[in-house]
Chain A
Amino acid sequence: DAKTTQPNSMESNEEEPVHLPCNHSTISGTDYIHWYRQLPSQGPEYVIHGLTSNVNNRMASLAIAEDRKSSTLILHRATLRDAAVYYCILRDVEGTYKYIFGTGTRLKVLA
C-alpha cells in the first residue's frame, strides 16, 4: 500500500488561508488522492479527492503536483469549525479499492 506523510500539526489564524501538505512519493498511476477530516468526537468526513488535475469544491481546493508525488489541501478561509485532524489518503482503484489512513495533521485555528 502506498503511504502518505503529513506534518503532525499546524496552526492557522482565523479567516486566513491554510495549506496542508501531503507527500506520497510511492503513489502509483491509478491511486486517487483523497482528503478527509475528523472533527472531535466524530467519524471522519469527506473533504475532496482528485487524480491528476487540481480540484475545487465548496469546502476546499486540492492542488496536485505535476509528478503526483505531493499534494496540498487548501482551505481558503479557516474558521474555528475547521479545527480537526486532516487525513491524506491514497486509494487504489484497480486493486483492493481500500482506503488506508495515514497519521494526519492536527489543525489548530486561532481566533
Chain B
Amino acid sequence: SAVISQKPSRDICQRGTSLTIQCQVDSQVTMMFWYRQQPGQSLTLIATANQGSEATYESGFVIDKFPISRPNLTFSTLTVSNMSPEDSSIYLCSVARTVNTGELFFGEGSRLTVL
C-alpha cells in the first residue's frame, strides 16, 4: 500500500486568492494524479503530475489556473489560482506505484470552500 498525506485537509478561502495543496507519499511512486470532486459528483481528472517536467492537463484544465509541481517521486503540489466559488470542491491526490500496477491509492482529500 501507499500512505498519502494531503495538506490542508480543509480550508475556507476568499475569492481571488490562491491556495496550494501538498501531497506527500510515504514511498517513491511512478505516477501521481490530481482529481477534483465537486459536491455529489464523480471524480474528474485534472492532470497527471510528471516528475521534473510539466504536468499533463486534461481538457478543461489549464496550467495558469491549476499549476502543479512534482520535484521528486514522493511529493507534489497543486495550486488553485484566483479562486472563485465554482472552485469549491474536494481535491484529491492519487498515486500508482508503477506504470503497470493495478492499484491506485488516494489521499483523504482537501476540501476547499471559496467565499
Which residues of chain A have a CB within 8 Å of any CB of chain B? 32, 34, 36, 42-46, 49, 85, 87, 93, 96-104
Contacts and interface: CB of A to CB of B under 8 A. Distances in A.
B31 A97 contact: yes
Nearest to B100: A93
A101 B43 contact: yes
A102 B92 CA distance: 16
Interface in B27-57: 31, 33, 35, 42-45, 48, 56
Given A44-B104, A87-B43, 17 more contacts: A34-B102, A34-B104, A43-B108, A44-B43, A44-B92, A45-B106, A46-B104, A46-B105, A49-B102, A87-B42, A97-B48, A99-B33, A99-B45, A99-B94, A100-B45, A101-B35, A102-B42
A104 B108 contact: no
B11 interface: no
A82 B17 CA distance: 39
Q: How large is the interface on B (under 10, 10 to 19, 20 to 34, 35 or more residues)?
A: 20 to 34
17 contacts: A32-B102, A36-B104, A42-B108, A43-B92, A45-B106, A46-B103, A46-B105, A49-B102, A49-B103, A85-B42, A97-B96, A98-B48, A99-B45, A99-B94, A100-B45, A101-B43, A104-B42
B104 A99 contact: yes
Given A46-B103, A46-B104, A101 B33 contact: no
Nearest to B111: A41
A25 B43 CA distance: 21
